[in-house]
Structure 1
Amino acid sequence: MSESPPRTPPAAQAARADILNLTQQLTPSALPRPLRSLRAQLQVKANQADDQFAERERELAEFNISAHAHGRPRKLRKRHNRAVDASDSVPNPATLEERCRHAGRHCALELVLFPRDEVWKVDVDPNFDPAQEYDDKQTFIQDQLHNVLSVLPPGRSSPAGFGFIVHRELGMRSRMAHRIRVESLSIVVGKKAARHFDSPEDRFENFATLIGYIPASDSGEAFYSPLKAEILYDVYDGTFNVDHIFRNKVLLKICASILRGPSGAKGLFGGKRGSLSQGSTNEKIYAVKRTSPGLITNCAVLTIWLYSADPQFIEEGAETQINYRKRWERYFREIHDALAQDAQWVRNLFQYWDSVLFPNAEESHGQSLAGGQRGEEEEFEQARAAFKNAPRVHRPSPSP
């Protein structure tokens, strides 16, 4: 099968556009603090552009090596862009690349928001059990690897050779961030609160405590508490409470907005399922039918970022220094291990999320409140023998 060289990543173009946009804000009238913030943002964007250029060079090198290894390409059918003797079951390169892009977007949406670099380098452990607790770093990496493989095109048993496509599409993080801080902001946080999102300084002044900011004291420096953040709880008394964490309405509104469009959270807590877009939505495209551990974790981390002073949703906040990757991994691990232990609090959590977002969900991690179809089918199957073997009406044989 012939291959096409990787094209210039859209993310690189976006990074350059962001840098140009930021430079336009560097006016002589800008105050010193905003200037420092803009310089920090420019540095982040410049570093991202450098990284993307280096990644591009690596991809091209890998492609050239692969092309020489496979020799001269076979004659192609123009219509399908595939080798003449290729099976119809083998997708052409363009189709395969798009499937990998689709897999990357799906992965970021509800499975692995911040995959570790090792995921693209390790081999699959055939003895790995996804239901086990995370004993060490390798177990965690294997879980991420299995999640990536679960959405790759059929027949792809390793992300090698396709990892760069999948990884590149994890730029969906920026699209999700734009959705909640721009397109859906007033619906997610309310019109009154939305007035205080104009600048990093406004967000810090109004919401730092809400996301767990602990000021410096004689006993230590300032930091952001990962578990004593009021915005994560539906009921908060200043202490960590496992029965109320990850239940704030904002988390579920963020989820609805990402899955169903900018107006997806409208009416979510008013007895409605949310305002669905007439076009394609992430919920439809990726067939999201129930709450997953990754979906809850994504929304928790996005909630912290939404109210933070950080301008961009990257692994480490430029202003707050919050490590969003580490935060995501810790939240995900606690939810995953609680499911492995069959903890009641996490079952209740999934039941609550599904009751709000997916009231008709089947096979929920929590006990579903809605009547599913599986039980009905099983009952009919069990009754088939009784129907089939029921006594029949005796009819006399016809006379000869």
Structure 2
Amino acid sequence: MKNKKKRTSIKEIPVVCDVNKILSYRLNPASPKVILECLVEWANAGPNSNSWEGMDNLRYNLIFQEFIHNEFNKHEMEIFVKIANFKQKLRSKIRKIYNENPKWYIMHSIVQPFDPFEYKAHQVFYHLIKNIPEKFTILLEELVIKNYFFKLEQTQRTKADLIADKMSELEGITIVIDNEEDFELPPEFEYITKNFLVDDVNQSFVEEPKDIPSGCKCVSCGPTSECCPMLASEPFAYKEANKRTVIGLKRQEAIIECNENCKCNKKCINRVTQQSRNLVLCLFKTANRGWGVKNADRKSVIKRGTFVLEYTGEVLGNHEASKRKVHSYLFDLNMERNNHGFYTIDAYKHGSLARFVNHSCEPNCSMWFINDCLKNPKNQKLCIFADRDIKYDEELTIDYCPRYDVPTSDQIDYSQKFICECHCGSSLCRGNIY
């Protein structure tokens, strides 16, 4: 028979070939392994040409696929009960695998190779064949475990993609989610792109004097014009570098940007954190530091001085901040440490991708304070800029407690309330974050 036993590659489009009908089924009696076989009636051939063909030959044959699907649907309830019993029996083993191994090991060493259709075929044969050898039961147990983690990873990926799409839409950049450590999703929180004030925060704010203009009247803003930074007695922060606008300050200072009261347009060089960005970032699960953020753009690095993310959340006053129990998402909103008020951003329940940026004692990014020329505390922002070029697949990190940012004695000293061990891995590691 022509092409009677032609093998079909996994990359080929399924074809009917010359199979006419599946007549019967069995396990190969001569093989020490479990090999599913079907008695095939060939098209345009007599009964003497019927032959037993294994799964390798039939996997992508449409007649065989139809046979498996029909038999599965016909006996679906009975098969479901048998597989449910397998899962109950294997529950402890599955839990042990889940708890003791990282996801990447489970998927590459335990699950793969795995073919959902072949799993369905084995379920059908296990139900149809009367005398089941022990080796078939052992194999099906392995397939049940493989399928459990295969489905778990599929569900995780589907949900993670939906979360990433929503983040990308709100943040205005491309965000992907990757977790090779376990089957968890990022923690739930409300994604916001702007800070909002809690009810009692106004009691903590001390308004700045109103004796300066609310915005500049520049035609073309720059370091030599009477732009907002000059009106606020602050240095001009930005400069052009290779057709990019980057931060030009050598040390951490307050950045004064133009605002809605200025005469300049949205493309102004002094509106960096208000403009769109061309970034690809990945929210990923680390081995020992929870979730982190890394550069996922294969084609370009994040250049030194580039604005990356804004750290958003609830703006709290002194009293409310002292009551919050989850300290890892609190960031002080004061650039100048004084007695004129103390404000904090809490990104625990409401925040942006920046809430996942991890600490390092040798960071590649820094947090900068952004405001307008009025220096209204309500308009203060925290924004992350790259300190150096950040390559593809490199994690973005900041120093959670830089030396210039240590609270003075007359302010809240969170470091006295708890100690957080550092796992940044840098040769300059201080041992503790706080």
Structure 1 or 2: larger strand share? 2
Structure 1 or 2: larger helix share? 1
Same fold, TM-score > 0.5, yes or no? no
TM-score, L = length of structure 1 = 0.29
